[in-house]
Amino acid sequence: MVRTEDEMSRHPLLEIAQAADPCCKRLFLDYHGLGLLWSWMIDTRSSAKLRFEILNTLAVLPITNKTILKDSKILSVVEKWAKVSNDESTDNKESNETDDSSPGECSVDRTINEKVILEEDEELERNIVTKATELLSSWTGLKEEFRIPKKERIEQMKEHEREANRGYVDPRENLSYDR
pLDDT of res. 99: 45
In this predicted structure, what is the pLDDT of residue 118?
73
For the chain, residues with pLDDT lower than 70 are 2, 85-110, 112-117, 147-150, 167-179
Q: By C-alpha distance, which of 125, 144, 145, 127 is closest to 135?
A: 127
Question: What's this model's pTM, rounded to 2 decimal places?
Answer: 0.68
Can you give the pLDDT at residue 152?
A: 75
pLDDT recorded at residue 163? 79
pLDDT the model gives residue 169: 64
Contact call for residues 135 and 59 (beta carbons, < 8 A): yes
